Structures are given as C-alpha cells and as structure tokens.
C-alpha cells in the first residue's frame, strides 16, 4: 500500500530588526535549544543566500535608496520562499541545490543540512523549524512569509529584536564588513515592527530587547512562541478578512510601484531640464541624490497612508498619476528651481 505523505509539524519563524540588532546571534541560540528538544532547525540567512548584499553597495554609491532596494529585493525574497516551499513540498527530492538560480547554492547547503535526515525520520513527528533571518522592516515583507505558511498549513511566528540605533551602529562598525551607516539610519526610519493590533495576522509575535544581553528567559519565551505556532498551523482558507488584508497589501505594493515609475519619469525630466540650463555636473549629482531622497520619502508616506487610510479603495480608484502630480511634482519643481536659480545667480 502506498504510504501517505505525512509531515511533522513545521514552523516559519521570522526574525526581524535593524542590521546588527543581534538576529544571527539569536538564531544560533535558538538552534542550540531546538536541538536539545529534538527539533530540526534550518537557519535561512538572507545575507548569505542572496549574493553579496549588492543593494547596500548600490545605496552607498549610486544614491539609490531603500525604496529601490525594496523593489529589487522582492524577487530575491520570493526566490528564498520558493526554495523553502520546494523543500517542504518535495522532501523526497534531494534538496542539495536551491530550486531558484537567484539563490547562492553554496549557502543553501548548510541551510538545509539540518533537514537532510533519514527519510523515515520525516514522519516521526520531529518538528521542523525554519528561522528566517533578515531585516523584514516592512509588514508586507513579513506578510509574504505568512502567506506561505498559510498556503502550506505551517506554524508562523515572529520575533522582533528591538535594539537602539546607536548600539546597532556601534556593533556594526566593529564587524569585519560593516554595512554603510546611512543604510541603517534609513532602515530605522522605515522600520514598522510587528503590530498585532493593526495586523491581526501578526498575533504570534514577540519583541525582545537586544540592546543588552538576551537572557535565558528571553530564549524560553521564543521557544514557547514557536511551540504554540507549531501546535497551531495556519489553514489555507481563513475568513474573508484575511483575504481582504492580502488584497490590501498587494494593492499597496502595486500603487507604490506605479507611483515609483511616475516619479522616475518626472525625475528624468527634471534632470533633462537641469542639463539644458547648464547646471554643472557636480551639482547634477547632488540634484539626482536630492530628487531620489525626495522620491523615497514620498513613496514611503504614500504606502503608509494607503495602508492606513484608503485601504478600502480599489487600486484603479486611486489615480496614482494624479497623486504623484499633486504631491511629488511640486516638491520636484521646488528642488529643481533651487538648482537652476543657484546656478544662474553664480
Ligand atoms: N545582545 C548582544 N549584546 C552584545 N553584542 C551583540 C548582541 N547581539 C549581537 N551582538 C554582536 O553584534 C554584532 C552583530 O550581531 P548579529 O550578526 O547577530 O546581528 P544581525 O542582526 O544578524 O545583523 P544583520 O542583519 O546585519 O545580519 C555581532 O558582532 C554580535 O556579536
């Protein structure tokens, strides 16, 4: 008789917080404690799975910003989740290589090492834990993980590592390859930590203060959170409100994407106008950086406002182009005129 595919309970645990808040350090302690309990644990370290953290360099050198990162990063985040999904759906397939070419194969191996156990142990009830280690600074990034947990009927929980900005910067500076401070500061501005009051799907979340040492009782709290999540897997079709929530996130992402495109067009027009007015090249660089910064702030506010206030509107009702024209265009003109008039009065 064919054996029914049966999985032990599994859980996706999101670790979020600023760079150098101590997420990777915490994962090591969780893995140790999980092993004592006989659980299998895989650390999904986005830093390592996604080659070279290329976006940090971009931010520094080309004046790109977190919003740009957010868009290009999305495909990488989806690739990671796709690999996890494949591992869970096809445990019988050798999972030595990631199913998506965006993922660094060398880093994937140690990540799934914990899962490469004799096939028979897959059915013996040994819980399976994935610790997803990234900054996850927007709820929409965490929501993608929640959706996967729901699709595959897995447990889902989140640990937010709350750490002072100054401490993160200090710890970061003493690392062999520090991340640009500017990136940490930008991320701190944008970080929206788990908020179960606002997002009911974030109910299984705890916050740990990692400015000081993470205590043994903190680790106990994490283990209890994971135990509860393992015991309460999500179900694929929940009530209608969750579907609405999903639609809202999808819609917000799409609105911000459209607004981003519209802003890029306006920035490119502004740069052209500056060139025609013979603004010197060193000022052109500053102008580009100012406009990009202004775009990032505008898109961030738009997204926030969209999620908080106009969530019941349909995307097509928003008139994204119009919103961009009404708000961003004025700011763009203000900045541009400073550069053109400065140049003319020189
Ligand atoms: N609670 C803590 N107290 C003191 N130092 C810590 C603590 N947690 C982490 N550190 C130190 O801070 C540095 C960054 O820690 P870690 O790599 O765990 O951060 P992270 O949040 O994973 O960073 P990233 O998001 O950039 O990968 C390391 O040198 C680590 O030893």
The CA distance from 111 to 108, in Å, is 5
Residues 255 and 211 in one domain: no
- Domain check: are 176 and 309 in the same one? no
Residue, of 201 and 112, whose pLDDT is higher: 201
Residue 30 has pLDDT above 90, yes or no: yes
Q: Are residues 156 and 295 in the same domain?
A: no
* C-beta of residue 39 within 8 angstroms of C-beta of residue 127: yes
Q: Residue 268 above 70 pLDDT?
A: yes
Asked if residue 4 is part of any domain, the answer here is no
3 φ/ψ angles, rounded to the nearest 5 degrees? -80, 130
Give the pLDDT mean for 311-336.
72
Q: What is the CATH number of the domain that holds 64?
A: 3.40.50.300
From 16, 20, 31, mutation site for ligand 1 pocket: most ligand atoms within 8 A of C-beta: 20
Q: Quote the DSSP letter at residue 160.
A: E
Last residue of a domain, one of 238, 272, 301: 238
147 with 229, same domain: the answer is yes
Contact 163, 43 (CB under 8 A): no
Determine the distance separating the centroid of ligand 1 and the alpha carbon of 52, expressed in angstroms. Answer: 18
Q: How far apart are CA 111 and CA 11, in angstroms?
A: 15
User: Residue 315's pLDDT is what?
Assistant: 42
ipTM: 0.96
In a domain, 311, yes or no: yes
Q: How far apart are the first and last CA of the chain?
A: 87
Q: How far is the CA of 119 from the centre of ligand 1 (A)?
A: 35
Over range 314-325, report the average pLDDT: 65
Q: Which residues pair with 129 in a beta bridge?
A: 11, 41
Residues 167 and 294 in one domain: no
Of 46, 15, 51, the closest CA to residue 31 belongs to 15
Cα–ligand 1 centroid distance for 168 (angstroms): 8
Range of the domain at 270: 241-345
Closest CA to 83 of 171, 23, 181, 12: 12
Among 238, 268, 286, the domain boundary falls at 238
Among 14-28, 47-61, 88-102, 108-122, where is mean pLDDT lowest? 47-61
SS3 per residue for 211-266: CCCCCHHHHHHHHHHHHHHHHCCCCCCCCHHHHHHHHHHHHHHHHHHHHHHHHHHH
Measured in Å, residue 203 CA sits from the centre of ligand 1 at 26
Per-residue pLDDT reduced to its tens digit, 49-89 = 887 554 454 444 444 455 555 556 778 888 899 989 988 88
Atom 9 (ligand 1) nearest CA: 22
Same domain, residue pair 135 and 153: yes
Q: Same domain for 296 and 215?
A: no
Distance CA 346, CA 334 (A): 18
Determine, yes or no, domain membership for 303: yes
Indicate whether 251 and 216 sit together in one domain: no
- Stronger pLDDT, 228 or 58, i.e. the higher one: 228
> Which residue did the predictor score with more confidence, 278 or 117?
278
Of the listed ranges 157-171, 216-230, 242-256, the least confidently predicted one is 242-256
Distance from Cα 301 to the centre of ligand 1, integer Å: 30
Q: Say how many domains are in the chain.
A: 2
Q: Is 336 contained in some domain?
A: yes
Domain boundary among 194, 215, 238: 238
**In this predicted structure, what is the pLDDT of residue 292?**
92
Dihedral sign, CA of 311, 160, 177, 167? Answer: positive
Are 96 and 201 in the same domain? yes
Of 30, 21, 336, 278, the residue nearest 168 (C-alpha): 21
When the pLDDT of each residue in the chain is averaged and rounded to a whole number, the result is 82
In tens, the pLDDT along 127-173 reads 889 999 999 999 989 999 999 999 999 999 999 999 999 999 999 99
Co-location of 14 and 123 in the same domain: yes
Which residues have C-beta atoms less than 6 Å from ligand 1? 17, 19-25, 47, 135, 171, 175, 179, 210, 213-214
Residues 179 and 207: their CA atoms lie apart, in Å, by 24
């Amino acid at each position: 008789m064919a054996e029914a595919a049966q999985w032990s309970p599994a859980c996706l645990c999101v670790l979020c917080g600023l760079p150098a808040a101590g997420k990777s350090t915490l994962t090591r302690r969780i893995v140790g404690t999980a092993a004592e309990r006989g659980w299998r644990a895989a650390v999904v370290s986005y830093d390592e799975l996604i080659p070279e953290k290329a976006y940090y360099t971009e931010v520094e050198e080309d004046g790109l910003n977190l919003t740009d990162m957010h868009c290009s990063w999305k495909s990488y985040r989806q690739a990671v989740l796709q690999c996890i999904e494949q591992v869970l759906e096809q445990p019988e397939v050798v999972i030595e290589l990631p199913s998506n070419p965006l993922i660094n194969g060398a880093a994937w191996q140690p990540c799934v090492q914990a899962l490469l156990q004799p096939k028979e142990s897959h059915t013996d009830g040994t819980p399976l834990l994935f610790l997803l280690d990234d900054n996850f600074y927007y709820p929409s990034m965490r929501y993608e993980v929640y959706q996967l947990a729901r699709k595959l009927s897995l447990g889902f929980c989140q640990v937010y590592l709350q750490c002072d900005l100054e401490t993160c910067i200090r710890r970061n500076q003493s690392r062999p390859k520090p991340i640009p401070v500017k990136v940490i500061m930008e991320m701190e501005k944008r970080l929206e930590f788990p908020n179960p009051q606002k997002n009911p799907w974030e109910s299984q979340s705890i916050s740990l203060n990692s400015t000081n040492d993470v205590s043994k009782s903190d680790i106990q709290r994490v283990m209890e959170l994971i135990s509860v999540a393992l015991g309460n897997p999500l179900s694929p079709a929940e009530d209608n409100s969750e579907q609405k929530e999903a639609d809202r996130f999808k819609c917000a992402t799409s609105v911000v994407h459209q607004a981003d495109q519209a802003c890029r067009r306006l920035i490119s027009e502004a740069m052209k106008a500056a060139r025609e007015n013979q603004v010197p090249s060193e000022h052109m660089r500053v102008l580009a950086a100012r406009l990009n910064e202004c775009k990032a702030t505008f898109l961030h506010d738009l997204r926030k406002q969209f999620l908080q206030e106009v969530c019941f509107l349909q995307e097509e009702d928003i008139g994204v182009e119009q919103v961009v024209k009404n708000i961003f265009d004025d700011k763009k003109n203000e900045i541009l005129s400073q550069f053109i008039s400065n140049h003319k009065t020189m």
